[in-house]
């Protein structure tokens, strides 16, 4: 259940179906998401918990939510 998969962010966008962006920055984070590449398989992932994530970052993803940046070994 707690297994998570590392992948690389290839695009950042606002979630589909999200309401119009307001001025509230916290709200902006709620809908921020990314296309993440898992060794060739790409999936849409929420960045709600990783406001600092940027393009090219390696992130650890669990049930569609990026949980942390993975430090380079």
**The one among 10, 11, 51, 55 contacting another protein by CB under 8 A:** 51
Find the shortest distance in angstroms from Cβ 63 to another protein. 5
Give whichever of 56 and 73 is closer to another protein, judged by the CB atom: 73
User: Is 9 among the residues that bind another protein (CB under 8 A)?
Assistant: no
User: Is 60 among the residues that bind another protein (CB under 8 A)?
Assistant: yes
**What b/e readout covers 39-56, taking b as 16+ CB neighbours within 10 angstroms?**
eeeeeebbbbebeebeee
At 30, give phi and psi (nearest 5°).
Answer: -60, -30
């Amino acid at each position: 259940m707690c297994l998570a998969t590392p992948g690389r962010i290839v695009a950042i966008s606002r979630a589909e179906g999200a309401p119009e962006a307001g001025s509230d920055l916290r709200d902006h984070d709620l809908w921020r998401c990314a296309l993440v590449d898992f060794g060739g398989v790409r999936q849409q992932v929420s960045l709600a918990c990783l406001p600092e994530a940027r393009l090219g970052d390696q992130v650890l993803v669990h049930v569609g939510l990026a949980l942390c940046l993975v430090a380079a070994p």
